[in-house]
Chain A
Amino acid sequence: MSLPKRILKETERLMADSPPGISAAPKDDNLRHFDVTVAGPESSPYEGGVFKLELFLPEEYPMNPPKVRFLTKIYHPNIDKLGRICLDILKDKWSPALQIRTVLLSIQALLGAPNPDDPLANDVAQNWKEDEKGAIAQAKEWTRVYAH
């Protein structure tokens, strides 16, 4: 089945004019399936890292949110071992007016502002709350090791 016009347009724009630090390109065999990279925001423990993600646009998109997860290991209270992301706009706060671009920007922002009060990875969140420095160091270490 052909892609909705919206997806084509979004893809086009992403390719032509991607937000700083973010790239996204559809796979050849499935235009709803994107390879994404997000650079860690400056002055965050993830700075300098390049994180790989995958993004999938379900059939119902844009009525339903895209599915996104990290492929690169990351130490973050809102991202679990499997790369799943806890982000409201990917869940109940989704609006069809949002786009791939906005989603990815939001994720990038999430890296800059971890929220241990709404954790997905409980151990990480715990650590974050109890020993923020240690947690940040850990995050930096992971970034150095994995995110390249």
Chain B
Amino acid sequence: MSPSPSPLPLVAPVGAAKAEPDLFFPASDSEDEHDKEDGDEGEILAVVPSSTVRDVPSSSTVRREMGSSSAVQAQPQLQTSFDSTLVAPSDEPIPFFASQDSDILPVSPVSSKPKPRPRPRPSPSHSSRSSPAPSALEVPSAGPSRKRSSPAPPARSPSVSIPEGFTGGYLGEFVCEGWSLSKGKGYCSPGSKIVFERPKPPKTVEDEARSLARSKEKVGPARLVNGKVVHAKGKPVAGKQMTLGAMGMSKKAPPPPVKKGPVKAQVDQIIRFRNERGFEVGRLSVTEAGFLVHLLDTGIISLQGHVIDCPQVLSTGSTILLNVKVYLARAAFEKVEKDGRGEQRSFWQEQKETGEEEAMRKRKDALGLLFGRIGVKPLRSNALLLAQKKNGRAVINETSLKHFDSNGGKLPSSALARRSASPSKSSSSGKGKEKGSARNSDDEEEDSGDEAEKLNDEQMNELDQIYRKAQQGDTRLDEMDPPDTFLYMLRPYQKQALTWMNAREAGDETVRDQGLHPLWEEYAFKKEHKEGEPIEVEDDDDWIDPSRKFYWNPYSGELSLTFPTSNTKAKGGILADAMGMGKTCMMASLMHLNREGDAPPEMPAAADAEAEDEQLAKRPKFKQVTLSNQWRAIPTAVKTVNKPPSSTLVVCPVSLASQWHEELQKMSDKGSMTSFMWYGNDRTDIEKLLAQEGRKKVDVIITSYGTLASEFQKWRKTKDKPSYEGGSIYDHEFLRIVLDEAHNIKNRTALVSKACYELKGQRRWALTGTPIVNRLDDLYSLLHFLRLEPWGHYSFFRSFVTVPFLNQDSKALNVVQYILESCLLRREKSMRDKDGRLIVDLPPKTVDLQVLDFSRPERQIYKHLEDRAKRRFIQLDAEGRAMSNYTSILAMLMKLRQCVDHPLLVLSKAAEEDEQGDRLLDPDTGDAQGSLKEMIALYAGGLQADSEGHVPHDSSYALQVLKEIGEAEGTSECPICTSEIFDEDCIVDYIGNCEDQNKPANCPMCDKGPYKMSDLRSVQRRRKRINPITGAFTDDDGHPVLASQGETAVTIGKVDLVSSTKLRALVRKLDQMRIEEPEVKALVFSQFTSFLDLIETTLTKEGYRWLRFDGSMSQAQRAATIEQFGKKTREPLILLISLKAGGVGLNLTMANHVFMMDTWWNEAIEQQAIDRVHRLGQNKPVFVTRYIIKGTVEKRIMKIQRSKTALVNASLAGGASKDKAASLADIKKIFGLDEDDSEDEVY
């Protein structure tokens, strides 16, 4: 720290000061009383912060002209021990502190009473400053030391542990002003020592706050006081300045501490000073002293002072110029205890400032002011802070950074004056927005701004950048091989992750750079100027004592003597690789690598057996009370403590539990790692499970978020009861806790999040592809879980990240970036390694968008539905009732989307509503084309007729027909679409088309006819299908077969009209795949399980094997399904998956074809679904086929998807009602009601 070159100017232009004279003389009545007091020698005793007056032996005071001397403690850093009384002045020369022009008063080394800024000084020209440096400046550690642990004043407690021998350090000095409360001569004279004093009863926090706030507002101006300055003189008269203040001038000794507090509030923050004989001389200017109050009361600083200048004869209100030396007391460095995490704090409690937090904030503010006042500059601070300072805006928290600008030194005095007028608010830019005391309350109000916290698109982009920056250098991480028990081959980037994770667990910080903690700054104590030594004006730096450093955190207000590294105790981190990069795999390798936790060293191997016994003993405890009673005597707790935790707890969504289990088995050498799925109602006793040893030992417990939450609730209810016997999962300390899909706890107030916070584990990991989903607070929850200091504290995170962010300060993102760099590893598939290769080399993915056209009946049905929905929507919208009928509008949309898949999906409900709806809307409609019911009935007619269809024709007839047509037509090709067989769709379309045009549907081949749909017959013989018209048919391989070869059972039935366009397309594609790749495995996604039902039927009919995976299945069923799907087969196998149930987390790389049967609102969800297949482990090219029907809602949904994925999500997808208005706009688009729609009917 270099002392700032420019001490604060003492004198401010008068004009700048606002006058509120009243304030200055709050205690006017009392002043009278002082009249009689005589000044004594003019010495003033320094007040010990804690209201204890202590004698400060004055060592010789050195004064020098111009410069205030800041004395730095000569003694080496910590070791000097000073008595509380005084330390003998060290011999070292007292460096000169910055001295300035006459305007500037030297900062005097007296203990920190920073007097606030000089008020306008009547006589600007006091050039003389005496800086009596009591050589023994070491702060009297004794008295005042309060525990600084919690800055809260009430929390003060006798000084606790700090490096031994350390009593305090000299920080610097400054000049401030006080007013006489006494009248007469002899109280003090320039150079005389003074003692500062606080009223005994420490004020309550609230009072202080109030008074602080008040002082900020009012203080500034008022200066009646003229040039009269009372000098308090230290005994040592040496300085030249002495001449100015007559040493002997002191008047009568002031009466004992003046108790008369005029107004309470003011009393609360008055700092009085006496001369060395104990007479009260005066008080510090409220303006200047305001911020000292808190520090004094909490024992963080102690002050010593002497008078620089004062009138010979004091009168009430006379100005006394003081030099104040500030010492950081031992108490200042005592650890601030963070409040225990164990406490349950309710949600709103977390959001509010606790008393402790408030005290901390005040302390922080006050220290900031003090540092600024003294002109202490950091030797070192983090780049982040520097950047912020440079920026001129205190990103993080204005108040906390206010000291920076004062460091700058020579600000225009007007600016100074202004600042002094409102010291508490300080804007670092000096522009000072006048928020005044309202500020604090602002902070709290902001808590509610939920929506505002959401990141907009732009910010999300920025986030990407941040990720990217935080990723820089990650490519250079070393690679590390997993132990042999881990069977999989890791890719290079996974090995890097292992290195990183291992380092995080070991607490090894060298892997990534680590420096000064981002929020801390490094300072050094100063050497104190000794009296009588030559005064040389030199570089301020000479005054600092580099060997005695201390550190300050301008954000939290904490002080420390030890180097705060960015190292945190948190072991673990966030592994945020993109989907499909193998997070599970990497984590598993880590589990293999680090299997033992930190054990207490004395844990003897011999104790194992014993431990085992004990474990056994513990086991029954939980369930069998009787037994447990017998065993209770054994202090199980002790045992547990000694046993190094070796088990890992994996918390994941239910659907992934079995996958974790299986993958762990697959990846691990046999017997090397045992995992157990612990969830569901029948879960076993966790204690028992964990107590197992040897071969049965469980290394990994896999549980679900839901299970954990319910365990947590149980535990929370019972843990404090005397009857509680432990045995909960919360009583066990894990080696490692892993949250998979950790964004599940993004809401910090959710039960499940709390349940995760409370788990005991030495190492904590969060795995998620999206650490920040859509607001910065999402990240907080993870950090809190990780116990990453300091970010894991809500108030902290909030004031450094969330609030600045809300204030539109993009710098908040800088902080986020910093955080991420330290604890998060994220790679994406598209990243390249140091050699420029893609880190993940996935097989290519081909997306084929198939735009299909409805068959005629389908379109009729669809049109009918759509028209109705549109009419209804338009009407509702016109009446302004769209909002209130939101749900039913969504229902209509849903129906349309179902209809696109398959008309039968809407049959039941739609038919009923049809009448109702039509009636509701307008009675006229409806029957131009027949009611929906009829249409669908017609449509379904094919199906119903199907059974009869077989009857009239026996197979010999069929064979004959086949034979005839087979012989007649050599072609095997559908004449309409030219595919291998005559396509049912084609002929159906053709007939429909003819009907549309009102012309007879004659046979396209022979022109006979006309035919109707119901005349069509299809011939089926096993899988060989034949068309009645062309007679072409095929065998299993799709090759044409001569009719004569087909001896087996042949049936002729009505053409199946019940299929839908998409369904037919799917089957067609599957048929083709079957030919090309007989063992193909494919996923078919739909969001409608009812559609999946229909697909099932069709697949069965077509002879495909299929499996089903949807939300209605139990976990066991799901697991069985996935396992089944993974087996080798010799024929095509199709997995039908509901988009919602199977879109996330599953690993289905055994398939390489994906069919998306319909369109979901949010493209990302579809992407997720595709990524089930296109992920690590996939070694075949992936083919994705999406089916869209042209001219339907689907197209428009896709359009919306593309334009703004984000907006659509919540309300449409989830039915949440928040963004209705926005959604309505989307709905209009979907109905094609917005302007730009019509032209681009691309499909």
Contact = CB atoms under 8 A, between A and B. Distances in A.
B986 interface: yes
A27 interface: no
Nearest to B1243: A1
A104 B414 CA distance: 96
A1 B851 contact: yes
Interface size class on chain A is 10 to 19
A102 to B, nearest CB: 10
Contacts, number: 37
A9 B1003 CA distance: 22
Contacts of A98: 1004
A70 to B, nearest CB: 26
Contacts of B1004: 95-98
B1117 interface: no
A64 B979 CA distance: 18
B978 A10 contact: yes
Interface string B999-1022: 100111101000000000000000
Interface string B951-993: 0000000000000000000000001111100000010011001
Given A95-B1004, A97-B1005, A5 B978 contact: yes
Given A1-B851, A63-B990, A63-B993, A95 B1002 contact: yes
A75 to B, nearest CB: 31
Q: Which of B989, B1004, B1005, B1243 has the most CB of A within 10 A?
A: B1004
B1005 A5 contact: no
A126 to B, nearest CB: 31
B979 A96 contact: no
Contacts of B1002: 95
Contacts of B977: 4-6, 62
Contacts of A95: 1002-1005, 1007
A23 to B, nearest CB: 21
Interface size class on chain B is 10 to 19
Interface in A1-28: 1, 4-6, 9-10
Interface string A91-120: 011011111000000000000000000000
A145 to B, nearest CB: 39
Contacts of A62: 976-977
A96 B999 contact: no
Contacts of B986: 96
A64 B989 CA distance: 11
A137 B1124 CA distance: 80
Given A1-B1243, A63-B989, A92-B999, A97 B851 contact: no
Contacts of A97: 975-976, 1004-1005
Contacts of A5: 977-979
A96 B975 contact: yes
B992 to A, nearest CB: 9
Contacts of A96: 975-976, 986, 990, 1004
Nearest to B850: A2
B858 to A, nearest CB: 15
B1001 to A, nearest CB: 10
A16 to B, nearest CB: 14
B163 to A, nearest CB: 78
B438 to A, nearest CB: 63
Nearest to A2: B851
Contacts of B975: 96-97, 99
Nearest to A93: B1007
A62 B986 CA distance: 10
A77 B989 CA distance: 35
Nearest to B986: A96
A1 B851 CA distance: 8
A6 B1243 CA distance: 18
Contacts of A10: 978
Nearest to A94: B1004
Interface in B876-932: none
A100 to B, nearest CB: 12
B476 to A, nearest CB: 46
A95 B989 CA distance: 12
A128 to B, nearest CB: 28
B899 to A, nearest CB: 22
B852 to A, nearest CB: 11
A99 B974 CA distance: 12
Contacts of B1242: 1
Contacts of B1003: 95
A10 B975 CA distance: 11
Contacts of B976: 6, 62, 96-97
A1 B979 CA distance: 19
Contacts of B1243: 1
A132 to B, nearest CB: 31
A9 B989 CA distance: 20
B1005 A9 contact: no
Nearest to A8: B978
Contacts of A6: 976-978
Contacts of B999: 92
B975 to A, nearest CB: 4
A4 to B, nearest CB: 7
B850 to A, nearest CB: 9
Nearest to B987: A96
Interface string A38-82: 000000000000000000000010111000000000000000000
A95 B990 CA distance: 9
A15 to B, nearest CB: 15
A134 B484 CA distance: 100
A5 B990 CA distance: 17
A9 B990 contact: no
A63 B1243 CA distance: 18
Nearest to B976: A96
Contacts of A1: 851, 1242-1243
A10 to B, nearest CB: 7
Nearest to A98: B1004
A4 B979 CA distance: 11
Q: Which of A4, A92, A97 has the most CB of B within 10 A?
A: A97
A90 B1242 CA distance: 28
A76 B999 CA distance: 29
Nearest to A4: B977
A99 B973 CA distance: 13
B668 to A, nearest CB: 48
A57 to B, nearest CB: 13
Contacts of B1005: 95, 97
A4 B976 CA distance: 11
A60 B999 CA distance: 16
A62 B978 CA distance: 11
Nearest to A6: B978
A9 B1007 contact: no
A102 B1201 CA distance: 45
A99 B1004 CA distance: 11
B764 to A, nearest CB: 52
Contacts of A9: 978
A93 B997 CA distance: 13
A77 B28 CA distance: 124
Contacts of A99: 975
Nearest to B994: A63
25 contacts: A1-B851, A1-B1242, A5-B978, A5-B979, A6-B976, A6-B977, A6-B978, A9-B978, A10-B978, A60-B993, A62-B976, A62-B977, A63-B990, A64-B993, A95-B1002, A95-B1003, A95-B1004, A96-B975, A96-B976, A96-B986, A96-B990, A96-B1004, A97-B976, A97-B1005, A98-B1004
Interface of A: 1, 4-6, 9-10, 60, 62-64, 92-93, 95-99
Given A63-B989, A64-B993, A95-B1005, 16 more contacts: A1-B851, A1-B1242, A1-B1243, A4-B977, A5-B977, A6-B978, A10-B978, A62-B976, A63-B990, A95-B1007, A96-B986, A96-B990, A96-B1004, A97-B976, A97-B1004, A99-B975
Interface of B: 851, 975-979, 986, 989-990, 993, 999, 1002-1005, 1007, 1242-1243
In the A-B complex, list the 3 residue pairs whose CB atoms are closest, starting with the nearest: A97-B1004, A97-B975, A95-B1004
